[in-house]
C-alpha cells in the first residue's frame, strides 16, 4: 500500500488488504498467519547471561590485572595471584548483576499485548486470542478494551481512545472513520487505533493494518533491540588508564629485568623485581573501588527516591548539561484538574480560591458556582475511580467544593439523557423536571437564549455572548480545556434540551504542573543544565506549561522536525525550549542532534514512546509510578516518586560522587607512582625494596577501606554552583597530575632517604630497613589521604567512616609487624625509637604535601 491507511477512505483500505467488512474466512486467516506470523512482540536477540558475564572482563585494566596475577604465579607468589584474582572476579560479578536487569526491556513490551480480541470472521463476531490476529481482520472495539493491533477505523460511535502511553497526549482522543491528510502526526490520526492503547468511551470497528512487529509498538521494540547501551566517559577513561599502565609496565619490566640481570642479579630475582613493578604500577582495587563507590551512591540516591538501574549513570549525571523531559506526568501531575470557573463576569480560581470580575461581592456568585459544578457532576458518566479523565476532573472539582456528589446523584436520579458524541459535542441529562447540559462552549451557547446572573436569568444579548466568547479565548490562551454548562427548567424529556437553555458558566481545566517542578528547574538551570520539553501534546498547551515553569517558549513542532534534515535540526535544537507534537522517532532525532552538538543528555519519560530515547540517552530517567514497565526497563534511573525535583537531587548526588571518585583516583595513583619510583630507583641501586607481597598489601590497605570510605564523603556545598563537568576532560586533569607528581616526588625522596639511612651501608636489603620503608610508606599514604580531601574542600572530620577505616588499616598494619604474619611479609617488630623516626618522616612530609596542595589549588580545574 503506497499511501498510508490513515490517508485513505476506509473502503479503499479494506479493499487494499483484500478483506471484507464481514471478516476473513478461516482459510484466509491461516494463509496470512503463515505470511505474517503471530501478533506478538518478538523477543530480540539480547545477550545471554554468559555473554553479559564475559563482557565484565572485557576491559584493558582487567586484562593487565590478570596478566599481573599470571606473572605472580610464574614467579611463585601464589598469594598475590589469588588476591588479585579475587578482586577481579568480585568486580565482574557485581557488574553482571547490574547489566543482566538491563536486558529485560523487550520482555516488558510483551505485557502490552491484549490477551483477547473480538473479531468478525466468517460473518460471525467471536472472541479470539489477540496473538491470532492477522492483517485484514475486522476488530470490534468497546469501552475498556485494549486495542489488540494497529487498525484503520471503519465505524465509530462516540469512540475515544487513551493514547498517552504512545503519544504523550494526556486527554483521550476522539476517533472518526474519516481519512486525515497526508503527513498528519501520529497523535492526530483520528482514523487510526494503535496496539496497546485503551478505549475509554464508545465503540468502533477497525480493519487490522499491522500486527506484531509491524505495529507502532513493534517498531519501538525493534528499535530497542538494535540500540546499543551507551558507555560513560569514566568507563572509557579507566580502560584508557589500563592500556597506559599496561604499556608502562611492559616498558619498565623490559628495562629493569635485563638491567638487573646484567648487573649480576639472579634471573629469578630480576623476574621478581619485574613482578613487583607490575604490582606497584597497577591500582588493583581501582575498578572495584569505583564500582563500590558508585554502589554507595546508589544506596543514598535510592533513599532519595532515585532508583539507579545502571551504576555508570551515577557518574554520568555529573556531566549532564541538557535534560529533555516529557510533559504529561513528569512536569505535570498527569491528571486533568479544573483550575478556573467563570460565571457571568466572575472568574473563580479554584487553586487560590480568589474571585475576580465585575460581580465580586455580589450575591449569588457562590450559588452559581455550586450550580456549575453540580451540572458537571450530574451530567457525567464517570466516577472518581474510573472513567473519562475530563469527567473525573469535574467530579474532583465538585468534591473539593464540598458537594456530596453521590448524595445528589441519589436524590436527583437521571431519568433521560442525550449521550455525548464527537459530532454533537455535548451531552445532556434529565433529572425529574430539570435538564443539565455540558459540552463545547461554541456549541452549547447556540442552544441558549438566557444567561444566569447575580440577579437571576437574563437575556443572552450579543454583548453578554461576546463576554463568554472572550473568556473562552482567554482560557484557551492559558492552555485550559474549556467546557460550558447550561440548564433548562422545567423539562419533560431529553428532547427539550435542544433549545431554550440558560447558560450558567465555563470550566477551565488543565493537567497542572507539579508544585515542586518550577523550583527544581530553576535549580538545575542554575547548575548550568538546560531543560527542554519534548511532548506529543499540542503547541498551545505545551508552550503554556513550559512558560509557567520557566523553561521558555521557543517551540518546534513535530511536522517541522519531519521536514528538517539532521544537520539543520542539529543547528536548531539548542535554541528550542519546547518540542511539541512529537513522535517516538522525533524524540530520538532530537536526542541525537543534541548529542552531535556535544551535549550530554538526560531524557525523562514514562511511556512506551519514550523507551528508545531513554535507552539512547546518556542518562535515561523513567517515572516509577506512572511509568510503563517498558520505560522503566529501558532507563538508567527510575524516579520512585515521579518527582522532577528528584532529578535535581540526583544530579547533585552524581556530582558529589564524581568528586569522591576524583579524590580516590588521585589518592591511589599518587601512591602507585611513588611505589613505582621507589622500586625502580632502588633496583637501580641494587636493592629489591618492597617486594610484591608488601606492595600488594600496601595497595590493599590504601585501595581498600580508606579509599572506599571516601565514597561516603558528603557532597560539598558548592557542587550545584559549578557548571556541568566537561565529559571530554580527563578525570586525570592538571590538578590531579600536579598532585600525583608533587606528592609522589616528596614521598619518593623521603622514603628512599629513609631506606639508605636504615640500610646503613648494607649490601642487601635487611628485614629492618624493609619494615621501616614498608611502614613509613603506609603511614604517609594516610596523611596524604586527608590532604587530598582538603583539596576538594571536604571538612576533615565530616566523614566518621573514613576515620574508622584509617584506624582499621593502621591496626592491620600493626598486625603484620607484631604477629606471626611477619614471616609472610618479611617484617620485624619495630621499637619505640623506630616509631619516633617514622614520626619525623611524617612531620617532614606533611608541610611538603600541603605546599603541593596549595599549588594544585591554584590550577584551573
Number of helical H runs and strand E runs in the chain: 32, 25
Asked whether the beta carbons of 630 and 109 are under 8 A apart, the reply is yes
Longest dimension (CA), the chain: 119
Report the alpha-carbon distance of residue 834 to residue 768 in Å, rounded: 10
Q: What angle do CA 710, 711, 716 make, to 5 degrees?
A: 85
Cell of 5: 491507511
> 638: helix, coil or strand?
strand
Asked whether the beta carbons of 119 and 140 are under 8 A apart, the reply is yes
Report the alpha-carbon distance of residue 259 to residue 683 in Å, rounded: 9
For the question of residue 367 being annotated catalytic, the response is: no
Element (H, E) at 772: helix 767-791
Q: How far, in whole angstroms, is CA 250 from its chain's centroid?
A: 42
Report the alpha-carbon distance of residue 579 to residue 344 in Å, rounded: 37
Q: What is the DSSP string of 477-543?
A: HTT-EEEEEEEESS-SSGGGGGS-EEEEEEEEEE-PBPTTHHHHHHHHHHTT-EEEEE-SS-HHHHH
Any alpha helices (H) in 597-644, and if so which ranges? 611-616, 629-634
Question: Other CB atoms closer than 10 Å to residue 740's CB: what's the count?
Answer: 23
Asked whether the beta carbons of 154 and 10 are under 8 A apart, the reply is yes
Cell of 234: 569514566
Burial class (CB in 10 A: 0-12, 13-18, 19+), 722: middle
Element (H, E) at 341: strand 337-343
Length of the chain: 861
From the list 55, 25, 279, 220, the residue with the least C-alpha distance to 134 is 25
Report the alpha-carbon distance of residue 95 to residue 249 in Å, rounded: 26
How is the beta sheet containing 306-308 ordered, strand by strand?
Answer: 306-308, 637-639, 619-623, 601-605, 322-325, 530-534, 578-580, 555-557
Q: Strand pairing of 481-488 and 501-510? A: antiparallel
DSSP code, position 24? B
Element (H, E) at 487: strand 481-488
Is the dihedral angle over the CA atoms 650, 655, 660, 665 positive or is it negative? positive
Catalytic residue among 162, 321, 326, 834: 326
Report the alpha-carbon distance of residue 427 to residue 380 in Å, rounded: 9
From the list 276, 262, 221, the residue with the least C-alpha distance to 104 is 221
DSSP code, position 724? P
Residues 6 or more apart whose Cβ sits within 8 Å of residue 58: none
Residues 6 or more apart whose Cβ sits within 8 Å of residue 64: 242, 245, 246, 249, 282
Q: What is the DSSP string of 641-658?
A: T--THHHHHHHHHHHHHH
Burial class (CB in 10 A: 0-12, 13-18, 19+), 661: buried
Burial class (CB in 10 A: 0-12, 13-18, 19+), 764: exposed
From the list 214, 225, 227, the residue with the least C-alpha distance to 107 is 225
- Sole residue written with cell 534511573: 637
Report the alpha-carbon distance of residue 704 to residue 722 in Å, rounded: 30
Asked whether the beta carbons of 169 and 221 are under 8 A apart, the reply is no
Asked whether the beta carbons of 589 and 192 are under 8 A apart, the reply is no
**Would you name the residues annotated as active-site residues?**
326
Amino acid at each position: 500500500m503506497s499511501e498510508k491507511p490513515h490517508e485513505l477512505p476506509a473502503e479503499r483500505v479494506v479493499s487494499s488488504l483484500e478483506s471484507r467488512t464481514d471478516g476473513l474466512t478461516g482459510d484466509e486467516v491461516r494463509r496470512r498467519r503463515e505470511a505474517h506470523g503471530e501478533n506478538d512482540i518478538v523477543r530480540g536477540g539480547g545477550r545471554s547471561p554468559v555473554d553479559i558475564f564475559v563482557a565484565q572482563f572485557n576491559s584493558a585494566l582487567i586484562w593487565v590485572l590478570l596478566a599481573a596475577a599470571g606473572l605472580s604465579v610464574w614467579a611463585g607468589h601464589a598469594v598475590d595471584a589469588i588476591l588479585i584474582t579475587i578482586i577481579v572476579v568480585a568486580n565482574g560479578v557485581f557488574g553482571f548483576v547490574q547489566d543482566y536487569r538491563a536486558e529485560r526491556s523487550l520482555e516488558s513490551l510483551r505485557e502490552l499485548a491484549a490477551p483477547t480480541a473480538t473479531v468478525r470472521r466468517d460473518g460471525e463476531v467471536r472472541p479470539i486470542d489477540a496473538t491470532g490476529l492477522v492483517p485484514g481482520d475486522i476488530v470490534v472495539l468497546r469501552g475498556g478494551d485494549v486495542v489488540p493491533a494497529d487498525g484503520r477505523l471503519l465505524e465509530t460511535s462516540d469512540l475515544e481512545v487513551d493514547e498517552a502511553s504512545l503519544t504523550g497526549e494526556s486527554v483521550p482522543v476522539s476517533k472518526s472513520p474519516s481519512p486525515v491528510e497526508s503527513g498528519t502526526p501520529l497523535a492526530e490520526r483520528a482514523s487510526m487505533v494503535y496496539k496497546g492503547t485503551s478505549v475509554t468511551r464508545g465503540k468502533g470497528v477497525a480493519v487490522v493494518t499491522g500486527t506484531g512487529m509491524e505495529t507502532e509498538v513493534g517498531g519501538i521494540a525493534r528499535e530497542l533491540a538494535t540500540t546499543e547501551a551507551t558507555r560513560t566517559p569514566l568507563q572509557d577513561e579507566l580502560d584508557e588508564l589500563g592500556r597506559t599502565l599496561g604499556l608502562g609496565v611492559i616498558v619498565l619490566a623490559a628495562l629493569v629485568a635485563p638491567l638487573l640481570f646484567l648487573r649480576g642479579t639472579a634471573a629469578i630475582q630480576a623476574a621478581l623485581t619485574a613482578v613487583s613493578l607490575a604490582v606497584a604500577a597497577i591500582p588493583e582495587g581501582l575498578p572495584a573501588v569505583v564500582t563500590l563507590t558508585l554502589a554507595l551512591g546508589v544506596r543514598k540516591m535510592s533513599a532519595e527516591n532515585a532508583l539507579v538501574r545502571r551504576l555508570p549513570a551515577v557518574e554520568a549525571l555529573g556531566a549532564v548539561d541538557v535534560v529533555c523531559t516529557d510533559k504529561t506526568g513528569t512536569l505535570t501531575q498527569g491528571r486533568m484538574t479544573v483550575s478556573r470557573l467563570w460565571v457571568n463576569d466572575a472568574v473563580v480560581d479554584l487553586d487560590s480560591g480568589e474571585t475576580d470580575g465585575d460581580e465580586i461581592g455580589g450575591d449569588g456568585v457562590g450559588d452559581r458556582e455550586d450550580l456549575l459544578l453540580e451540572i458537571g457532576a450530574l451530567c457525567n458518566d464517570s466516577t472518581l475511580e474510573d472513567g473519562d479523565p475530563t469527567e473525573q476532573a469535574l467530579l474532583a472539582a465538585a468534591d473539593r467544593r464540598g458537594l456530596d456528589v453521590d448524595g445528589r446523584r441519589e436524590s436527583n436520579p437521571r431519568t433521560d439523557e442525550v449521550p455525548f458524541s464527537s459530532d454533537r459535542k455535548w451531552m445532556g441529562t434529565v433529572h425529574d423536571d430539570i435538564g443539565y447540559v455540558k459540552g463545547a462552549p461554541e456549541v452549547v451557547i447556540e442552544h441558549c437564549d438566557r444567561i444566569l446572573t447575580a440577579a437571576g436569568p437574563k437575556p443572552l444579548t450579543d454583548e453578554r455572548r461576546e463576554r463568554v466568547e472572550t473568556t473562552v479565548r482567554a482560557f484557551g490562551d492559558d492552555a485550559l480545556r474549556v467546557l460550558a454548562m447550561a440548564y433548562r427548567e422545567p423539562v419533560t424529556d431529553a428532547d427539550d434540551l435542544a433549545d431554550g437553555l440558560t447558560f450558567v458558566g465555563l470550566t477551565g481545566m488543565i493537567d497542572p504542573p507539579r508544585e515542586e517542578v518550577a523550583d527544581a528547574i530553576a535549580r538545575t538551570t542554575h547548575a548550568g543544565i538546560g531543560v527542554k520539553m519534548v511532548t506529543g501534546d499540542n503547541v498551545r498547551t505545551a508552550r503554556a506549561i513550559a512558560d509557567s515553569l520557566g523553561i521558555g517558549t521557543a517551540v518546534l513542532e513535530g511536522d517541522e522536525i519531519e521536514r528538517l534534515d539532521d544537520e539543520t535540526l542539529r543547528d536548531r535544537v539548542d535554541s528550542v525550549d519546547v518540542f511539541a507534537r512529537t513522535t517516538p522517532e522525533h524524540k530520538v532525532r532530537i536526542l541525537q542532534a543534541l548529542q552531535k552538538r556535544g551535549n550530554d543528555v538526560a531524557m525523562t519519560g514514562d511511556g512506551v514512546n519514550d523507551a528508545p530515547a531513554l535507552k539512547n540517552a546518556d542518562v535515561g530517567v523513567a517515572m516509577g509510578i506512572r511509568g510503563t514497565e517498558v520505560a522503566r526497563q529501558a532507563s538508567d534511573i527510575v524516579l520512585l516518586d515521579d518527582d522532577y525535583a528528584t532529578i535535581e537531587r540526583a544530579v547533585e548526588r552524581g556530582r558529589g560522587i564524581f568528586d569522591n571518585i576524583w579524590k580516590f583516583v588521585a589518592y591511589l595513583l599518587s601512591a602507585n607512582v611513588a611505589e613505582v619510583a621507589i622500586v625502580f630507583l632502588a633496583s637501580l641501586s641494587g636493592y629489591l625494596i618492597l617486594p610484591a607481597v608488601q606492595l600488594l598489601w600496601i595497595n590493599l590497605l590504601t585501595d581498600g577501606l580508606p579509599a572506599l570510605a571516601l565514597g561516603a564523603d558528603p557532597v560539598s556545598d558548592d557542587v550545584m554552583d559549578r557548571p556541568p563537568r566537561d565529559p571530554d576532560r580527563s578525570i586525570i586533569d592538571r590538578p590531579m597530575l600536579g598532585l600525583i607528581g608533587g606528592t609522589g616526588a616528596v614521598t619518593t625522596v623521603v622514603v628512599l632517604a629513609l631506606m639508605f639511612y636504615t640500610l646503613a651501608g648494607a649490601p642487601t636489603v635487611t628485614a629492618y630497613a624493609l619494615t621501616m620503608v614498608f611502614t613509613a610508606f603506609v603511614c604517609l599514604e594516610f596523611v596524604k589521604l586527608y590532604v587530598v580531601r582538603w583539596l576538594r574542600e571536604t571538612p576533615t572530620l565530616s566523614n566518621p567512616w573514613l576515620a574508622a577505616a584509617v584506624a582499621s588499616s593502621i591496626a592491620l598494619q600493626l598486625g603484620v609487624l607484631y604477629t606471626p604474619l611477619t614471616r609472610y611479609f618479611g617484617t620485624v617488630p619495630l621499637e619505640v625509637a623506630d616509631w619516633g623516626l617514622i614520626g619525623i618522616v611524617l612531620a617532614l612530609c606533611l608541610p611538603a604535601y600541603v605546599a603541593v596542595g596549595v599549588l594544585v589549588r591554584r590550577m584551573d580545574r
